[in-house]
Chains A and B, each alone.
Chain A
Amino acid sequence: MTDLVIIGGGPAGMSAAVAAYESGIRDILILERDENLGGILQQCIHNGFGLHKFGEELTGPEYAWRYEKKVRELGIPFKLNTMVLDITEDRVITATSSEEGVFQIQAKAIILAMGCRERSKGALNIAGTRPAGIYSAGTAQKYVNRKGYMPGKNVVILGSGDIGLIMARRMTLEGASVKAVCELMPYSGGLARNIEQCLHDFNIPLKLSTTVVEIHGKDRVTGVTIAAVDERRRPIPETREYIPCDTLLLSVGLIPENELSKSAGISLDRITGGAEVDQDRQTSVEGIFACGNVLHVHDLVDYVSEEAEIAGRSAAEYIKGAKPGDESVRITTDGKVRYTVPQRVTADKAVNVYFRVADVYKNVTIQVYRDGEPVYAKKKARVAPGEMETLRIGEDIIKGAKELKLGLEVSGQ
């Protein structure tokens, strides 16, 4: 029996481990499938990490190292090259590694911190051939940053997610020519600062409301056909344009990796793709918590750490005997607000609610409704799907509420 098993040794898993340790739990084990801690941050060698958390600009590996150092100093055990194959509702974990073979652990509490994966080409049903030269942006990032190889020279990028934007800059710096970044939506899904620093500064065109409709080439990509899309996101044939290139990078969204959560019977939020949690980040299965990109996709690692600390502390409390509250207040949304995390509240205390909006809106009022009545409002000049928002809901609002709802009032476009 182990008190706390944390699945995933990225920033979420490490922050959660440190927080649980600081809350008095000693019997902790981090399981990580990669050969080192740090998760996807290891290949994010650009800077921009840690502005909120540490007030300085760190690279991905530097940010990860801050936590890894902590983990090592505190002597928190971790197993690398260890892949979790299954977890059950009763918190039995089955894992495998070269050292130990297939083994099982019974945990008092589990924190899920497995991160997310990139949406692949297959899911897009792009017509044409299937040659070499099509990669998700993160895979290309791995080739360039970790392996030291160039996946191509003339590049088109589909999707303006942050990894795609970062790779547009990275490939350019490595001597490749990035012809265009095409984005299906009328706005970019990436951070404003990345569009500025990764595209504008390098004169890389961002083509909004545009998609790749066909891939050409037999052995290697020889070109792609792009086209503008109408309001219903259907390609407009007259706008078809052929761009010669040898590489197509995809940055078309991240998907929380919840195969293990499903095996444990945890209920998932259809919109986030992650578990439904309460303010403690406890899932629908008692004793199993979730944090980081496996819960919902974050744009800044600083928020991941923050969320993981909550999960770490709560798991520690749970191990010490705290039970989840049984009365729960749901937080619903009006559609303009797409989702919130947490999705429900079980305790009468103030809670920070993280949320994303469905579209780009200007001059908005973020409204909190309590049992249908507006009880709190906050103005904002601009909100966008690519930027996560946060709002603190006070104890006075939560106390005695049956339902909470988050919405947007839009006064201008």
Chain B
Amino acid sequence: MYDVAVIGAGVTGGMIARKLSSYNLTICLLEKENDVAMGATRANSAIVHAGFDAEEGTLKAKLNVKGSEMMKQVTDELGVKYKNNGSLVIGFNAEDRAVLEGLLERGRKNGVRDLRIIEKEELGRIEPNISKNVICALYAPTGAIVCPYDLAIAAIGNAMDNGVKLKLNFEVTGIKKTEEGYEISSGEEKISARYIVNAAGLYADAIAAMAGDTSLRIRPRRGEYILLDKECGGLVTHTIFRTPSKMGKGILVTPTVDGNLLTGPTSVDMEEKEDKATTPEGFARIIKEACENVDGIPFNKTITSFCGLRAVGNTGDFIINTPLEGFVNVAGIESPGLSASPAIAEYVAQLLEEQGLALSAKMDYDPYRKSMHAFREASIEEKNALIRKDRTYGKIVCRCEGVTEGEILEAIRTNPKPSDLDGVKRRTRAQMGRCQGGFCGPYIVELLARELGIPYDKVTKSGGDSYINIGETKEDR
């Protein structure tokens, strides 16, 4: 019997599990996929929003501003890359300016620091490639960028190091109330827990319904992106948003913490919760709008495109409540969910305490996790000292991103351990560069097979039936 079962290993569930692991509790984190951070957390804009978007008084506004202020420390503890690059919402005309003034007002009420409107001349100085048609911008110096799956992986790894049990490929299919709490099943497999935190993203409505709360409705909304080569990352230094309109927030242009340039997202309501396909219309829209915002974006330097699904709830706000005894919903966590995640975790801990869960601080809780980027950032001397101890750190496997065998092996052996190619990619950036794994893929398959003790052709791209190879060639049989 666990004290708490957290359902969903995205950034929300991950941050909650980490927070709870600082108390004397037994916790399990349940995830249906073969790895963590496979939902919205995998594919989003990666922005730590300053907090001027959401309406005053909403949970979104409160938790965003608080989460964004906590983010620097959290990422330091977890060894996750974070950059306080500031953001700009650009306006093209008087109508936009009026909207920006409204946002400025709202942001100030929400408690966002240092917000101000800047004019064309100053804008041109700090962001020389911004479109010449822009007349002004709302400048938010507290805006930042982070790598969302890196954050979730690190939070979950840290939670595991502090005792949390992660169960992958555990798709919750049934929840039964028992005397002491709940029995949670995934097919034949069952576990029990006194409390449940439902952080199942798009499926939070289904999970809630299993427990008897039918008030939730979560709809998927597609967001497509185009990611450009590192050569282009310096085109802008701030995150460039458009002025929001009836049509939504529009296409943004931003550098990523790894130095790429990211453009997107589109915004289309969907029926299917698994449909992560990109579309030609989406690409066309991204390219058109991004080029209106910033001059000279070289889309011929595209390295990949992808799609994320927003979990849109039925209230317009985050839905964080306790509809049943010992059961907390953390649903409708659309943007700014990533930014808010550290604050959401604190809030949820508080709700659990109100539900009677005793929170006593764990003496040996360690909030720190070794950075997975340590080798990359080390000096030549430090690198050589490590290579002398472990030669695999001298061998580059991924040429495009310069990732060594040592770093890949370290990632494969570190919580939460990846067991597929995409998992290694998200942790090390190997296969994420311009050749997209063309060169290093076959070797990483070999490393995974060896480390996991499975045959070469049983290695998958991302779990399930996503096998890279389907068998041996004739000659070898």
| Residue pair B438, A136 in contact (C-beta under 8 Å) | yes
Residues of B within 8 Å of A105, CB to CB, are none
| B399 proximal to A (CB < 8 A) | yes
A122 touches B460 (CB 8 A): no
Nearest residue (CB) in B for A117 is: B435
User: Are A132 and B466 in contact, CB atoms less than 8 angstroms apart?
Assistant: yes
- Decide if A151 touches B388 in the complex (CB within 8 Å): no
Q: List chain B residues, Cβ under 8 A from A142.
A: 442
- Quick one: closest B residue to A96, CB to CB? B394
CB of A120 within 8 A of CB of B434, answer yes
Question: What's the least CB distance linking A141 to chain B, in Å?
Answer: 10
9-residue interface stretch from B87-95, B141-149, B298-306, B366-374: B298-306
| CB pair A219 B387 closer than 8 Å | no
What's the tally of chain B residues with a CB closer than 8 Å to chain A? 58
Are B468 and A100 in touch, CB under 8 angstroms? no
**Cβ contacts under 8 Å, A219 to chain B:** 460-466
Contact A143:B303 (CB < 8 A) given known A149-B471, A150-B469, A246-B470: no
Q: Is the CB of B468 within 8 A of A151?
A: yes
B384 touches A102 (CB 8 A): yes
The answer to whether B396 touches A33 (Cβ under 8 A) is: yes
B474 touches A102 (CB 8 A): no
Q: Among A117, A151, A214, which residue has its beta carbon within 8 angstroms of that of B438?
A: A117
A246 to B294, CA, bound (A): 39
CB distance B277 to A83 under 8 Å?
no
Contact A102 B387 (CB under 8 A): yes
> Which residues does chain B contribute within 8 Å of A125, judged by CB atoms?
226, 278, 283, 302, 305
Alpha-carbon separation in the docked complex, A171 to B265 (Å):
38
B391 contacts A150, CB within 8 Å? no
Q: Are B394 and A129 in contact (CB under 8 A)?
A: no
A50 neighbours in B (Cβ, 8 Å): none
Mask, A107-151, CB within 8 Å of B = 1, is: 000000000011011110101111110011011001110111111
Q: Are A97 and B462 in contact (CB under 8 A)?
A: no
Cα separation A138 to B436 with both chains bound (whole Å): 13
The distance from the CB of B79 to the nearest CB of chain A, in whole angstroms, is: 22
B277 touches A128 (CB 8 A): yes
Of all chain B residues, which has the CB nearest A81?
B395
Selected contact of B457 from candidates A96, A135, A149, CB within 8 Å: A149
In the complex, the answer to whether B470 meets A148 with C-beta atoms within 8 Å is no
Which of A101, A117, A147, A214 contacts B384, CB < 8 Å? Answer: A101
Shortest Cβ gap from A211 to chain B (Å): 11
Is the beta-carbon distance between B387 and A101 smaller than 8 angstroms? yes
Asked, given contacts A125-B305, A219-B464, whether A120 binds B387 with beta carbons under 8 Å apart, the answer is no
Contact string against A for B residues 420-460, beta-carbon threshold 8 Å, 1 for contact and 0 otherwise: 00000000000000111111011000100000000011001
Inter-chain contacts of B470 with A (CB < 8 A):
150-153, 246
A125 to B464, CA, bound (A): 25
In contact, A127 and B283 (Cβ under 8 angstroms): yes
Asked whether A410 is an interface residue with its Cβ less than 8 Å from the other chain, the reply is no
Contact indicator B467/A122 (Cβ below 8 Å): no
Contact for A120 among B282, B436, B465, CB less than 8 A: B436
Check A99 against B435 for contact (C-beta < 8 Å).
no
Q: Is B473 an interface residue, CB under 8 A from the partner?
A: yes
Find out whether the CB atom of B473 lies under 8 angstroms from the CB atom of A149.
yes
Q: Which residues from chain B contact A213 at a C-beta distance below 8 Å?
A: 280
B306 x A102 contact (CB < 8 A): no
B475 within 8 A of A: yes
Are the CB atoms of B438 and A120 closer together than 8 Å? yes
A220 to B420, CA, bound (A): 14
- In the complex, A186→B421 CA distance in Å? 36
A327 at the interface (CB under 8 A from B): no
Contacts of B188 in A (CB 8 A): none
Query: Across the two chains, which residue of chain B brings its CB closest to A215?
Result: B277
B461 with A132: CB separation less than 8 A: yes
Give the contact-size bracket for chain A. Answer: 35 or more
CA distance A144 to B227 in the complex (A): 30
Q: Which residues of B contact A130 (CB under 8 A)?
A: 276, 306
Q: Is A85 an interface residue (CB 8 A)?
A: yes
* Chain A residues with CB under 8 A of B178: none
**Among A83, A143, A149, A218, residue most surrounded by chain B Cβ atoms (within 10 Å):** A149
Q: Which listed residue, A147, A148, A152, A220, touches B465 by the CB 8 Å rule?
A: A220
Q: Are B395 and A102 in contact (CB under 8 A)?
A: no
Asked whether B472 lies within 8 Å of A131 as measured between CB atoms, the reply is no
Report how far A149 CA is from B393 CA in the complex, Å: 28
Kindly state the separation between the CA atoms of A283 and B460 in the bound complex, as whole angstroms. Answer: 43
From 343 to 377 in chain B, residues with beta carbon under 8 angstroms from any chain A beta carbon are none
Q: Looking at the complex, which one of B306, B399, B456, B467 makes contact with A147 (CB distance below 8 Å)?
A: B456
Say yes or no: B476 contacts A148, CB within 8 Å. yes
Q: Chain A residues with Cβ under 8 A from B462's Cβ?
A: 132, 219
A98 to B384, CA, bound (A): 10
Chain B residues, Cβ within 8 Å of A135: 438, 441
Closest chain B CB from A82 CB (angstroms): 9
Q: Across the interface, do A150 and B471 meet the contact criterion of CB distance under 8 Å?
A: yes
A265: CB under 8 A from chain B? no
> Are A102 and B466 neighbours in the complex by a CB distance under 8 Å?
no
Asked if residues A128 and B278 are in contact (CB atoms below 8 Å), the reply is yes
**Is B102 at the interface (CB under 8 A from chain A)?**
no
Residues 69-111 of chain A: 1 if any B CB is under 8 Å from the residue's CB, otherwise 0? 0000000000001010100000000001111111000000000
Q: Does A374 contact B (CB under 8 A)?
A: no
In the complex formed, the residue of A with least CB distance to B381 is A102
Complex CA distance for A287 and B212, rounded to whole angstroms: 75
Which of B276, B399, B446, B463 lies at the interface centre, i.e. has the most chain A CB atoms within 10 A of its CB?
A: B399
**In the complex, are the beta carbons of B399 and A144 less than 8 A apart?**
no
Min Cβ gap B211→A in Å is 28
Check B380 for interface membership: any CB of A closer than 8 A: yes
Q: Which residues of A contact B437 (CB under 8 A)?
A: 120, 139
Other-chain contact of A83, B302, B399, B460 (Cβ < 8 Å): B399
Q: Please state if B304 and A220 are interface contacts (CB–CB under 8 Å).
A: no
Least Cβ–Cβ distance between B275 and chain A, in angstroms: 8
The CA of A344 and the CA of B112, in the complex, are separated in Å by 59
| Minimum distance in angstroms from A264 CB to a CB of chain B | 16
Complex alpha-carbon distance, A118 and B402, angstroms: 18
Q: Does any Cβ of A come within 8 Å of B245's Cβ?
A: no
Could you list 8 examples of A-B contacts with CB < 8 Å? A97-B395, A98-B394, A132-B466, A143-B442, A147-B442, A151-B469, A219-B465, A246-B470
- Please list the 5 inter-chain residue pairs (A to B) with the smallest Cβ-Cβ separation, ordered nearest first: A122-B304, A132-B461, A98-B391, A101-B384, A120-B436
Given contacts A121-B304, A148-B472, 13 further A-B contacts (CB under 8 A): A33-B396, A83-B396, A85-B402, A96-B394, A97-B394, A98-B392, A128-B277, A135-B438, A135-B441, A136-B435, A143-B469, A149-B469, A214-B277
